[in-house]
Chain A
Amino acid sequence: MDLLDRYLQAVKKHLPWQRQDDIIAELRANLEAQLEDKEAALGRPLNPVEAEDWLKQIGPPMQMAARYQPQQYLIGPAVFPTYWFVLRTAVFWVTIAYSIGIAVQIAVRTPSWAALLEGVLRVPEVLLTTAASVTLIFAAIEFTAARYPGRWPAPVASSGDWTPSALPSVEKEVVRGQKPRSYAHAVAEVIFGFLFLVWLLLVPDHPYLLMGPGAAYLAVSPFQLAPVWVQFYWWVVSLNALQLGWRWVDLLRGSWRGPRRAQQSAIQALGLIPLGLLLTVRDHVFFLLKHPALDQMRYGATLESINQGIYRAALFILVIAILQLVWEMGRMSLDAYRRRAAAMR
């Protein structure tokens, strides 16, 4: 029967080459026996329409061939939970590392919106590369584990080898950064965040809001602020606007109760940018003389001392901020690892 030969030929194309002849021979014997039975029942050969219906009922060649193949996964159910955990962790850390890298790069060069935009636009590429790399590694693990079972360490803790007493103690309900926030607290954060931003925006025109009586002294003093403070100021404004927007979105989405450690860490990481900006100012010039030609002799040494003091203070704050960020990241990773280990046991 020509149609059956064509069907078997199509099935064969999708079978593993080592076994295809054997499988096709067996399938042919079974289907021919079935065909003979059908024809005996009818008392005549099947007509083309009946033959087509019969083969259609058996199923498409590719589906028939697929059933002879072992079930294959790119990443199987045994490896998937570990893969998912590693993928999320990798994406998170790469985002943080990339943000810091970009911030430092922008700070070292002349800060510009174009450089910031370029950095932001490259984020999808960085994240996709990270995800693809992790997926590739886990696909290789799956491939190897499937082909050499027993010779490869189990990618997840085996179900029999665990002790309940080794489980971590119950986490306290109130953990730093994870304390459930009340609605009033969340609303207050948005309102005070908004008021702070307004206050910040008023400072350039009304410096006394920041310095109090010191503003009057600055007005009559021989010193003036260097241009770097303008850039620093706008970074601070941008960060506060971002944080306010984030809180506002949380409030609108109803997600204000949830832990905000990742959000806080992101803001902390971005907060390194203005500090980096201060530290990369050429010759550590934070204040200038209003009339250098007149006042250099008299106030030059004082100016140098003020600038060096501000530089050291900024450096100290940056070190503290980095340590704090690393500490927080470490805690988050440890917590995630503990939760993961507890879930896998």
Chain B
Amino acid sequence: MTLAENLFENLRLELRRGCLTLAVLALLRQEHYGYTLRKALAERGLEIDESTLYPLLRRLEAQGLLVSEWREEDKRNKRFYRRSSDGEQIFGQLLKEWQAINASINKIL
């Protein structure tokens, strides 16, 4: 990887990081476990690595934005996540912020 490519990759990851949290919070208005959430994101055009998404779910839960429960589905125990009440509130605020940034960037461009 050249220096320019490396720089681009770092900036791209930085740009995506906040957006991924927003997308995960948005989709978790409905209950999902890790793999179906990953598929749902990919179907909407947002591919995300397993090693990024699954730890992210844990972090968001530790921050109180998600709640989870272990439940059996298809003869397998899975951990299902959904937004907590704090998560609802923060998601609303983040969404407004993202829309404002998006509108501003569009105006600038």
Contacts and interface: CB of A to CB of B under 8 A. Distances in A.
Query: Do A and B interact?
Result: yes
Among A23, A29, A37, chain B packs the most CB atoms within 10 A around the CB of A29
A102 B34 CA distance: 65
Contact of B52 (A23, A32, A67): A67
A136 interface: no
Given A33-B35, A59-B49, A27 B78 contact: no
A322 B105 CA distance: 61
B97 to A, nearest CB: 19
Interface string B35-61: 110110000000001111011001000
A68 B50 CA distance: 11
Given A29-B33, A33-B35, A63 B51 contact: yes
Interface string B58-81: 100000000000000000111100
Interface residues on B, range: 10 to 19
A34 interface: yes
Contact of B76 (A29, A63, A64): A29
Nearest to A33: B35
Interface residues on A, range: 10 to 19
A63 B49 CA distance: 12
Contacts of B52: 67
A58 B58 contact: no
A195 to B, nearest CB: 50
A67 B55 contact: yes
A167 to B, nearest CB: 31
Nearest to B56: A67
Interface string A31-53: 11110010000000000000000
Contacts of B77: 25, 29
B54 A59 contact: no
B54 A27 contact: yes
Contacts of A23: 58
Per CB-CB distance, the 9 closest pairs between chain A and chain B, nearest first, are A67-B55, A30-B34, A33-B35, A30-B35, A59-B51, A64-B51, A26-B79, A68-B55, A29-B78
Interface of B: 33-36, 38-39, 49-52, 54-55, 58, 76-79
21 contacts: A25-B77, A25-B79, A26-B54, A26-B78, A26-B79, A27-B34, A29-B35, A29-B78, A31-B35, A33-B33, A33-B35, A33-B76, A33-B78, A34-B38, A37-B35, A59-B49, A59-B51, A63-B51, A64-B51, A67-B52, A67-B55
